[in-house]
Amino acid sequence: MILDSKIPEGPLAEKWEKHKFNVKLVNPANKRKYDIIVVGTGLAGASAAATLAELGYNVKAFCYQDSPRRAHSIAAQGGINAAKNYQNDGDSVYRLFYDTIKGGDYRAREANVYRLAQVSVNIIDQCVAQGVPFAREYGGLLANRSFGGAQVSRTFYARGQTGQQLLLGAYSALNRQIAYGKVKMYPRTEMLDLVMVDGQARGIVTRHLVTGKIESHSAHAVILATGGYGNVFYLSTNAMGSNATAAWRAYKKGALFANPCFTQIHPTCIPVSGGYQSKLTLMSESLRNDGRVWVPKAVGDNRAPQDIPEDERDYFLERKYPSFGNLVPRDVASRNAKLACDEGRGVGTTKLAVYLDFADVIKRDGLNTVVQKYGNLFDMYAKITGENPYEQPMRIYPAVHYTMGGLWVDYNLMTTIPGLYATGECNFSDHGANRLGASALMQGLADGYFVIPYTIGDYLAQNPTARIETSHPAFKEAEAAVQTEVNRLLNVNGTRTVDDFHKALGLLMWDYCGMARNAEGLQYAKQEIRKLRDEFWRDVKILGVNEELNVTLEKAGRVADFLELGELMVDDALNRNESCGGHFREEYQTPENEALRDDENYTYVAAWQYTGTNQQPVLHKEELKFENVKLTQRSYK
């Protein structure tokens, strides 16, 4: 298989313009003859569903939550990047492009990233028009803040709830189309398989989470906007229900999965407090604008933070990276926190934490300013830990947050299956080996509002308008397969709970395929995951039947997929004999413990093809060509 990324010819800055002119259009009267399925209603899904419906297509949108507004984009805190240069501090489309490519450690596609930077400015305009209440200055114009990996202030925000406000904007646009009857919304419905007819994606099979009804839906194209797979690790900042099932089932139907080992570990999360822990909570990166990260200089210093004098503290990010300081990118900040803890300088009772200290900014700007800027985050911290972060420093530790890998897509966001698209975190295309803060919201909305509405038309225009009934044998076959899989789970009748398996998998992934990896550990993890998977299918305990609200059954299906995906992540991490961004192979590092890339051998996207359960997947390579940016050792010193 040759992977054709379909990147348009011509200079970088003109590619998207030219491409928009060259794509085929569907005339307005014909749009109503096409049906499009959108799975997931976060930023990428809701924006796509609303925009496609506005254009005149018939849209069916699906989410597993009880309302489309609850998709996990809602939890994004800090902000959204855009190259508006409202601050007159030297920002530009090119600089946002450059920062993103560099931040991704040169493992993303130039053309996609440039397009992302170009449309970023339209996103802000769109959101303001929808009534998104971004933070403003006293003059009434929009405010900005800084984020990691950039030296300009280009992040737009709505206190610490930017994701919520952006999603509510997209949700309102979606609601308008639901009211018009152009979008049919299916909440509490989970996609369990992709249906293909003559090699094209033509629909999905779903299970209704209250009634258990297994049902088919037919369309001319399918968009997966189902988010990332961070919950492979059990503990992550993802929502409890976030899962990889839709993307994974598409992979098993032939869509390639790209760079699965590229996971982002976010440096500032509230540390784990016990074995009962169900999820980890992020403390926004925006806190690193003012908070200072430190640990005691001495190993085993058990004094309370306020008793440790200034000259016995190590502000390690400021010391090692004077030009970016506390605002280094996430992978760098996380790795350094881990190093400090590995040296025995961690803090708190578990010693797996570092301090994030606001004493200086409170002294400098006053308590009120800090409350204004970060109040809700401080409250959240206090609720979870029972500690007052205005009086003592926060304790933070890295946690799994985002997955840069995902379904392989071309420039049109189409997967290797014709008619199947992947947008937002679900695809792999824009963030390389490390995503910069405030860029996930940007990508989700860019894909949904401004990219897919153009590119999907090009595909539809070349395909007939005739619909396929769900009585077609392909649908019946897929439904039967889903039913068989559900029965298989219900018939195991084992002794161990789903959560127990999930926790065991998570621990393996965190220990051997987390912040640091090495070949030996990865090989061990691969064997252990296979064993765990076998045991799952022999011994998992699920009660009840399919025809009811059965939470254990839902979870079991998702964990079964994680048990397969985890192995693919390990395969990918083993294959990539270099360190880059969030993928840190201990064998490949500079003397200063920085990631050591191997550009000669690994400047490619690793796209994996499914060949069967317990079979080795086949690796396909998409060479990355850098025509505009020079590859260098990433430095934030």
Partner 1 sequence: MAGNNPNSKPMNLTLKVWRQKNSQATGKLETYNIKNISPEMSFLEMMDVLNEDLLLQGIDPVAFDHDCREGICGMCSLYINGRAHGPERGTTTCQLHMRKFSDGDTITIEPWRAGPFPILKDLCTDRSALDRIQQAGGYISVNTGGVPDANEIPIPKSIADKAFDAATCIQCGACVAACKNGSAMLFTSAKVSQLALLPQGKVERKTRVENMVAQMDKEGFGACTNIGSCAAECPVGISLENIAMLNREYINASFTSENV
Catalytic positions: 330
Q: What is the DSSP letter of 327?
A: G
36, 165, 172 from 179: Cα distances, Å = 17, 21, 10
Phi then psi dihedrals of residue 79, to 5 deg: 165, -175
For residues 74 and 152, which CB has a smaller minimum distance to partner 1 in the complex? 74
Q: How far is the CB of 571 from partner 1 (least distance, A)?
A: 30
Q: What is the DSSP letter of 427?
A: B
Q: How far is the CB of 273 from partner 1 (least distance, A)?
A: 4
Q: Which amino acid, 357?
A: D
What residues contact residue 343 under an 8 Å CB cut-off, 6+ apart? 299
Closest CA to 440 of 49, 16, 76, 74: 76
Phi then psi dihedrals of residue 269, to 5 deg: -125, 160
Beta bridge pairs of residue 193: 205
For residues 112 and 165, which CB has a smaller minimum distance to partner 1 in the complex? 165
The secondary structure of 57-76 as a DSSP string is -EEEEE-SSSSGGGSGGGG-
- Six token digits for residue 595: 């990631």
Q: How far is the CB of 65 from partner 1 (least distance, A)?
A: 6
Longest dimension (CA), the chain: 74
| Strands in 175-243 per DSSP E | 183-186, 189-197, 200-208, 214-218, 221-224
For residues 211 and 465, which CB has a smaller minimum distance to partner 1 in the complex? 211
For residues 380 and 565, which CB has a smaller minimum distance to partner 1 in the complex? 380
Q: How far is the CB of 87 from partner 1 (least distance, A)?
A: 12
Q: How far is the CB of 42 from partner 1 (least distance, A)?
A: 11
For residues 232 and 327, which CB has a smaller minimum distance to partner 1 in the complex? 232
User: Computed from CA positions of residues 439, 442, 448, 453, in that sequence, does the dihedral angle turn out positive or negative?
Assistant: negative
Compute the distance between CA of residue 278 and CA of residue 499 in angstroms, rounded to an integer: 10
For residues 158 and 407, which CB has a smaller minimum distance to partner 1 in the complex? 158
To the nearest 10°, report the CA torsion of 51, 57, 58, 60: -40
Q: How far is the CB of 3 from partner 1 (least distance, A)?
A: 30
Answer left, alpha or beta for residue 89, where phi above 0 means left and psi between -120 and 50 means alpha: alpha
- Six token digits for residue 335: 């790795």
For residues 72 and 320, which CB has a smaller minimum distance to partner 1 in the complex? 72
Relative orientation angle of helices 245-252 and 551-575, to the nearest 10 degrees: 60
- Six token digits for residue 616: 């080795």
Q: How far is the CB of 208 from partner 1 (least distance, A)?
A: 11
Residue burial 246-279, b: 16+ Cβ < 10 Å; e: rest: bbbbbbbbbbbbbbbbbbbbbbbbbbeeeeeeee
User: Residue 87: how many CB atoms within 10 A of its CB?
Assistant: 15
Q: How far is the CB of 252 from partner 1 (least distance, A)?
A: 26
Q: How far is the CB of 531 from partner 1 (least distance, A)?
A: 22
Residue 333: is it exposed, middle or buried by C-beta count within 10 angstroms (0-12/13-18/19+)?
buried
Q: What is the DSSP letter of 170?
A: H
For residues 344 and 544, which CB has a smaller minimum distance to partner 1 in the complex? 544
42, 166, 233, 410, 532 from 154: Cα distances, Å = 23, 16, 32, 28, 45
Per the listing, tokens 């803060």 go with: 437
Q: How far is the CB of 126 from partner 1 (least distance, A)?
A: 6
For residues 63 and 328, which CB has a smaller minimum distance to partner 1 in the complex? 63
Compute the distance between CA of residue 569 and CA of residue 564 in angstroms, rounded to an integer: 9
Overall residue count recorded for the chain in this entry: 637
To the nearest 10°, report the CA torsion of 252, 256, 258, 264: -30
Q: What is the DSSP letter of 230?
A: G
Q: How far is the CB of 451 from partner 1 (least distance, A)?
A: 11
Q: What is the DSSP letter of 540?
A: B
Closest CA to 329 of 460, 433, 178: 433
For residues 21 and 138, which CB has a smaller minimum distance to partner 1 in the complex? 138
For residues 14 and 137, which CB has a smaller minimum distance to partner 1 in the complex? 137
Are 170 and 50 in contact by the 8 Å Cβ rule? The answer is yes
Task: Describe the strand order of the beta sheet including 394-403 as a list of residue ranges.
Answer: 263-269, 394-403, 354-357, 292-296, 313-314
